[in-house]
Structure 1
């Protein structure tokens, strides 16, 4: 029996290397076709775009093309492997964009981890694309890179490790809170991991109504509290005045634990110290912060989610980024803003409460699936995602004034 490693390497190498390719969208059967596709016919759209840059959306593939761009500094759980080694992940992102939202992708691996150089590269190639998906860039550099590029460019610039993760966490958490009889405004939340995903997720939860004074963020040195002098600008925004300084302290009486850190950092004692009807999102991959089988055996009142596909309630970014970009591209949005993120959250959460279609059950080999402790977030192969989420995102873009086209 072959191993996962053997299967994965074979999958990427055969029958042709890589996971994505380009294809031709126009006829090329005759000499006339070629004269239109290239010289002399191609000069006509060139002239139109030279007169009006917006014409690029009409005459080229720009409007449905996203760049997946990385410097390879924070690739999955593998760390700083460099730009080229991150290419299989970027190709994989392109595969997901195409498979779930029919968005074309060029993956671009930039061989520099200098912030200024990276920003310059992206700024200078951005005109090719309808949107920019930043990927696997380490914190805190990723915050500056995204913010500055957003200010420079008039197309969506989106760091999925931040906001894609945040959207799926928020949607799952809203449903988990409803099932546990709690509200976002009242719960005590512990977030372990104060990097890109952690800070963005807490930003979104705060925008949705979480009380930042009830939110404890924990990094490798403990709780972010006002007595610490080693916090960067982004972490300082979540420093609270508290005498809880360790992860064990933070877990006492907590309603929600969100893990975006590393394996096995949540002990049995920490779990048992949480409030009644707790929620644990242990999202470290492949090994979560606490083993879900152990956690569920200890606490029958627990709702549990992980980043793994072999357990219920997988918090999977593929539920978000393809449809966020699909909605943004469809109305030619200038950005993906907080209103668009919220629209995605509400739509994902609502979809999980509806009856599950038979084709979804068949795709996962299930006899039934209903909203409850083992189903708080839609499944990736649910075709309703493509129907619902982009429309909600596009409408939010229109309502918030960043769309250039009607829905």
Structure 2
């Protein structure tokens, strides 16, 4: 059976996400990010294109590593200003029936008891279409604004995350029995107390004695996304993730990440295919190759090198203002985003990137490939990437909001459907049921 390609849309509740500088293009509409209609229009567009979900990124700090200041990030709208992604979900869910919502929340700065209630609420309000992108954070500025001198070390953040997951699983999966809600109006009993259980959790980082405040939601545990490909991140993903998001500039890098993740999942006692892997990409297309190439050349004029370096510095914890643009990027271990730097260095030792090349690359679409061409050419590229790397689909960044996604929906989706490589209709049920044909998160 031919493997189908799956799409998520990669967005952020901000002006500029993965293509710093492109917000200045006259056709871009990202400045409307504070307008609810902006998000409703996007959700309806993505559902028309049968996207699995909109994947909403987030950070809780400013990109202030570059030149030791947030000035460049503020000047160029590098993920600042930035609004809460979770607040968008009810808006978009009300306007759609099938589209999923993968929201990013840094567990390092959110207590599991209150967070579990927030996600259960969203799972109820979306009728089971909510997913959680589990991140531990990578910006020291976020830690400082939440009362810490700096963030925990990279591996200790994952130690905390392991316990965090233990707490939320207990709240979501174990606190309420399936038959706890009786809704007996004659007896005046809504919930049967004997079927609701305090979790009595007491660990190194958290103490949560009580029961979950929410009755069981359609999925109980939201669909779990994770994006780390450091050794510690891979181990965490093998235990918890149902979907993963990887970023790499080449087939070689993405295949390495995908193979490593599937091997780790199997080692953890799960089926290696019991994991959906989405790779970041940007599609630039038009009805003809000439038009697509012209669009690509037009977009390249709006790449902002300083904005891209502010973004890369924040991702990696390395101040790239200290290096000449023609200096070669070497792998430097840091407590920020190890994966971001490794994708330009250690993940592919045969490819040596200069600072300028990396900035130009991420300046249009972030850390994934840019696929340019007419619908047939782009479909060929998507099939080649999937077939060569073993990924399940793509987390699509945009150059212009919402033009990029409209081009994908109107031009690429029909071509892939014609080839039998893309769904024509949504499966029934919750987000987890649509992707995995099961109601509950599987456990080892």
Instruction: Please confirm whether the aligned pair reaches a TM-score higher than 0.5, indicating the same fold.
Output: no
Structure with the bigger RCO (C-alpha within 8 Å, sep 6+) is 2
| Structure number having the greater helix percentage | 1
TM-score (norm. length: structure 2): 0.28
